């Protein structure tokens, strides 16, 4: 018989979360720590990393931090190397960090900005998977979860570059799930609008209207996404790979 409390635990495992100091990434890092994992956090700002370290250690987790951008080609290898050195391995990888500097129709936006979005959101995730595979997961297995978006499943105005990158991330998830099976499971989550600083321009001008567009009557919270990620990275989803788990308050029903 399944023990739900045990299935969702990550005791004895090491999780690495990119963009883990704020918003969805922070909630994921805290969920992994609360579930018993040691946690490595990668983000750009040292001060935010130190504050995050204090919170995660307060949850009883061993913590490693690395300051750098996932858009930097050298960061993945170095961050994964530090994680393995300081925490003893790597079992769970969450590619959460993303950027979105390109707003407007794709026929108009600066192509340099589009290239940055694709490199950070797609190639950056691949770099981390490759580093995790070579450093630990090829031998010991593991679980990868990519934070995509419902924008990767359907078009929307003004954020086309971001949406295209998330669509590519969803397909990258399926491709890697096929290539890395059976030892490594690779899944994705696709949130709708979540109340984070990154998405503030989308929800803050009229939050009630934004909330009303979701059948469940509210916007998402970072913890809503973190719960789905924890499920996909835990033994509770041991027979699940190559899937994209939509977490959208019902928004895709409309």
Say which residue, 233 or 195, is predicted with more confidence. Answer: 233
Give 89-118 pLDDT, tens digit per residue: 999 999 999 999 888 999 999 999 999 999
Average pLDDT, the chain: 94
The model's pLDDT over 15-46, given as tens digits with 9 standing for 90+, comes to 999 999 999 999 999 999 999 999 999 999 99
Which residues, other chains included, contact 155 with Cβ-Cβ below 8 Å and sequence gap of 6+? 163
Position 201 confidence tier, pLDDT thresholds 50, 70, 90: low
Report yes or no: 86 and 64 within 8 Å, Cβ to Cβ.
yes
Give pLDDT tens digits for 159-196: 999 999 999 999 999 999 999 999 999 999 999 989 88
- Alpha-carbon distance 246 to 14, whole Å? 25
Instruction: Please state the rounded mean pLDDT for residues 217-244.
Output: 97
Residue whose token pair is 């935010």:
48
Pull the structure tokens for residue 161.
């570059």
User: How far is 71 from 52, CA to CA, in rounded Å?
Assistant: 21
Q: Which of 113, 96, 115 is nearest to 43 (CA)?
A: 96
Strands 92-95 and 63-67, sheet pairing: unpaired
The one catalytic residue among 162, 163, 166, 168: 162
Band of pLDDT at residue 148, cut at 50, 70 and 90: very high
Supply the pLDDT for residue 90: 98
Q: Are 162 and 151 in contact (CB under 8 A)?
A: yes
Nearest to 68 by CA among 94, 42, 86, 93: 42
| CA 27 to each of CA 19, 32, 157: distance values in angstroms, whole numbers, following the listed order | 11, 9, 28
- HSE toward the beta carbon, residue 244, CA cutoff 13 A: 22
pLDDT exceeds 90 at position 243: yes
Q: What pLDDT sits at residue 208?
A: 83
Q: How far is Cα 21 from Cα 63, in angstroms, rounded to an integer?
A: 13
| Whole-number Å distance between alpha carbons of 58 and 186 | 29
Look at the pTM and tell me if it is higher than 0.85.
yes
So what's the architecture of 4-247 in CATH? 3-Layer(aba) Sandwich (3.40)
* Domain chopping of the chain, boundaries: 4-247
- Report whether pLDDT(203) > 70: no
Residue 158: per-residue pLDDT: 87
Q: Is 75 a catalytic residue?
A: no
Given this model, what pLDDT does residue 204 score? 61
pLDDT for position 5: 74
Q: Using CA of residue 165, residue 53, residue 64, residue 234, what is the dihedral sign?
A: negative
Q: Residue 63: pLDDT above 90? A: yes
Distance between alpha carbon 178 and the CA centroid of its chain, in Å? 19
Query: What's the average model confidence in pLDDT over 211-216?
Result: 88
Question: Which of 170-192 are b and which e, b meaning 16 or more Cβ less than 10 Å from the residue's Cβ?
Answer: bebbbebbeebeeebbbbbbbbb
State residue 202's pLDDT score. Answer: 64
State mean pLDDT over 77-83. 98
Share of the chain above pLDDT 70, in %: 98
């Amino acid at each position: 018989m399944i023990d739900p409390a045990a299935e969702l635990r990550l005791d004895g495992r090491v999780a690495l979360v990119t963009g883990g100091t704020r918003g969805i990434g922070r909630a994921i890092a805290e969920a992994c720590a609360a579930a018993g994992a040691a946690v490595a956090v990668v983000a750009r700002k040292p001060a935010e990393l130190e504050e995050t370290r204090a919170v995660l250690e307060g949850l009883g987790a061993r913590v490693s931090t690395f300051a750098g951008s996932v858009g930097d080609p050298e960061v993945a290898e170095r961050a994964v190397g530090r994680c393995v050195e300081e925490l003893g391995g790597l079992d769970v990888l969450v590619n959460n960090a993303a950027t979105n500097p390109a707003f407007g129709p794709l026929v108009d936006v600066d192509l340099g900005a589009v290239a940055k979005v694709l490199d950070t959101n797609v190639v950056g995730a691949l770099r981390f998977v490759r580093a995790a595979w070579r450093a630990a997961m090829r031998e010991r297995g593991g679980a990868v979860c990519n934070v995509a978006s419902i924008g990767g499943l359907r078009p929307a105005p003004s954020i086309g570059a971001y949406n295209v990158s998330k669509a590519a991330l969803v397909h990258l998830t399926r491709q890697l799930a096929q290539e890395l099976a059976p030892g490594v499971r690779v899944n994705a989550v696709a949130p709708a609008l979540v109340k984070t600083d990154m998405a503030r321009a989308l929800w803050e001008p009229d939050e009630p209207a934004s909330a009303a567009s979701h059948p469940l009557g509210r916007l998402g919270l970072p913890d809503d996404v973190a719960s789905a990620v924890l499920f996909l990275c835990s033994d509770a989803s041991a027979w699940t790979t190559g899937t994209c788990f939509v977490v959208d308050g019902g928004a895709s029903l409309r």
